[in-house]
Amino acid sequence: MSETERPKNTFSDARRIVDRSRLLTERRNPGTKDIDSKNTLEIIDIINKEDAKVAPAIRKERKNIACAVELIVKSFRNGGRLFYVGAGTSGRLGILDASEMPPTFSTLPGLVQGIIAGGRKAVFRSVEGAEDSRSEGTEAIYRAGVRNTDTVVGIATGGTTPFVQSAIKTAKRIGAGTIFLTCNPDTKPDTAVDVIIRPVTGPEVITGSTRMKAGTATKLILNTLTTTAMIKTGRVYGNLMVDLNATNSKLTDRSERIVMEVTGLSRRVARRLLEKAHGGTKTAILMHLLDISCADAQKRLSRSKGSLRDALESYS
């Protein structure tokens, strides 16, 4: 679509009021109707009881989550990226997960990105009307430069957000992989997508507050998507987060302990090894286990596309 063909970039799309009372996430929870009459501990127990329903709901979606991970991994291996698109809590959770990737797994900042209705200011202050703009959803995808090698996850716990619906439709038209995440059993995207993830978490403790169970389910699923994708693309060795660089005190301590765990070296020797490896944890481990130089370790990692396990197993 050319610049002239794109919908006008406007925040004032005509709004059609939709009756969302049928949506499960909007219904009144029969188990919490008198929550305001309870004491503090009783309220906490009620919330905890409802939260306990989240993990089983996610488990029922494990196959769909696995399909979504494979789609994301395919994008990463083909030089593509992962985009989260959402409004309100959903958008903020996408941005949170994306922002945690560089410090956690040493990814480039652009590998995982979050798009929120209303832009950057909506991260810190509610811009609720932004979610009603379909043209903004479309334009956000073009502004982000989404390509056909990328994967886009549309997050709409209720499943009806126009901004997200339009964004997913545009991403699909571009040829990107598309995933739709909703917590309602009866809503669906406006266009066919590759994967739908639908954890049915039920009515919220406080009617309509989808920042609670639905938000918790979203956070857990996003964590699972990226963590599993990072494991499958070689950024984890065993259950150790080896793809990190010692750039501050906490990460230096963590790097030293990981090198010690894998190699059996003392902290003092592990520290010296990391210095020679310019802070690269995987590089340091390879240098010691294969008795090679920093340059050779980096070359070996490059050939194995960053996988420490593959670099070690291919050694002859």
Instruction: Give me the active site residues, please.
Output: 100, 131
User: From the CB of residue 152, how many other CB atoms can be counted at a distance below 10 Å?
Assistant: 29
- Assign 9 a pLDDT band (cuts: 50, 70, 90): very low
Cβ 112 vs Cβ 82: under 8 Å? yes
Q: Tell me what pLDDT residue 12 has.
A: 44
- How high does pLDDT run on average in the chain? 90
Instruction: Please indicate whether residue 87 or residue 17 has the higher confidence score (pLDDT).
Output: 87
Expressed in angstroms, the distance from the first to the final Cα of the chain is 51
Percent of the chain with pLDDT over 90: 73
Q: Residue 111's closest CA among 85, 72, 168?
A: 72
pLDDT reading at 251 higher than 60: yes
DSSP lists the bridge partners of residue 197 as: 181
- Quickly list DSSP for 291-314: T--HHHHHHHHHHTTT-HHHHHHT
- Assign 18 a pLDDT band (cuts: 50, 70, 90): low
- Assign 31 a pLDDT band (cuts: 50, 70, 90): confident
Give the pair of three-digit tokens for residue 237.
Answer: 């060795």
Q: What is the mean pLDDT of residues 65-82?
A: 98
Lowest mean pLDDT among 29-33, 73-77, 231-235, 261-265: 29-33
Integer Cα distance of 25 and 43 in angstroms: 20
pLDDT reading at 8 higher than 50: no
User: From the CB of residue 129, how many other CB atoms can be counted at a distance below 10 Å?
Assistant: 14
Instruction: Please indicate whether residue 207 or residue 111 has the higher confidence score (pLDDT).
Output: 111
- Assign 247 a pLDDT band (cuts: 50, 70, 90): confident
Q: Tell me what pLDDT residue 21 has.
A: 62
Integer Cα distance of 316 and 292 in angstroms: 13
Cβ 184 vs Cβ 23: under 8 Å? yes
- Assign 27 a pLDDT band (cuts: 50, 70, 90): confident
Q: Residue 15's closest CA among 136, 121, 123, 120?
A: 136
- Assign 14 a pLDDT band (cuts: 50, 70, 90): very low
Give the pair of three-digit tokens for residue 160.
Answer: 């009806």
CATH of the domain spanning 24-232: 3.40.50.10490
pTM of the model: 0.87
CATH of the domain spanning 249-313: 1.10.8.1080
Domain range list for the chain: 24-232, 249-313
